[in-house]
Copies of this chain bind each other. A is one copy, B any other.
């Protein structure tokens, strides 16, 4: 099967990291096609960046037909509903995927994301999915998305500190890492802290493979009825 993994921002090094994480997570026989739009914001931190990325995101989807599933690799699940109207293939956001999986491994989880300004959008999504009751707290590590790329700012230590606090103060039983750029940190942090630490990219790849194997499609009744193009 082929999975189209879209990084909605235009930072090629992130697309590369996401692509590698996707391939590591995928089964043999699954081809990962990791892409980003040509134009748009270099990072997505909050509502404005999300909105600005959508045209490029939609174009990426329109250009392609040969995929069995689509992953939106921004933790805000940017464009999730719009893209679901464009196909009946399964479409998953990495935030969504991580939330659902964390809910199967724990009673309660906390999220550790990048900047404070990103917290709201994540909280909105949790409410929408119904999983706000499963999330104790959405925490900001104050590490910018591009600092995850550049290595500035001691990203891992800051994220780790938030995890420690989540275990002590939130009674979190699992942690969801709240940014595609944190994908390579999950395993180490899990070992270090002794609880499940979930990376949305890997979760989404596996969930997408599952849905494809099951032959399940995005419903075309109601909210995800097929998009009408060129209105």
Q: A residues near B, CB below 8 A?
A: 25, 27, 41-43, 45-52, 54-55, 57-58, 79, 81-82, 84-86, 90, 92, 96-97, 100-101, 103-108, 116-117, 119-121, 123-124, 127-134, 167, 171-174, 187, 194-196, 198, 202-203, 206-207, 209-211, 213-225, 227-228, 231
List, in ascending order, chain B residues with CB within 8 A of A45's CB: 228
Known A48-B82, A214-B202; contact A104-B130, beta-carbon cutoff 8 A: no
Chain B residues, Cβ within 8 Å of A167: 221
The answer on a CB contact under 8 Å between B231 and A49 is yes
Cross-chain contact A195 with B219 (CB below 8 angstroms): yes
Min CB–CB distance A144 → chain B (angstroms): 10
Specify which chain B residues have a CB less than 8 angstroms from the CB of A221 in the assembled complex: 106, 167, 172-173, 194-195
- Show 29 residue pairs from A and B whose CB-CB distance is below 8 angstroms, ordered by the A residue: A27-B27, A46-B85, A46-B223, A47-B224, A48-B58, A48-B81, A48-B82, A49-B228, A51-B57, A51-B79, A55-B55, A100-B103, A101-B214, A101-B216, A104-B207, A105-B216, A105-B218, A107-B223, A107-B224, A116-B222, A116-B225, A120-B222, A128-B128, A171-B222, A172-B221, A173-B223, A198-B214, A206-B211, A209-B210
Give the nearest-CB partner of A175 in chain B: B219
A85 contact from B42, B47, B128, B214, Cβ within 8 A: B47
B216 near A198 with CB under 8 A, answer yes
A120 surroundings in chain B (CB, below 8 A): 81, 107-108, 222-223
- Asked whether, in the complex, the Cβ of B225 is within 8 Å of the Cβ of A117, the reply is yes
Which residue on chain B has the smallest CB distance to residue A41?
A: B231
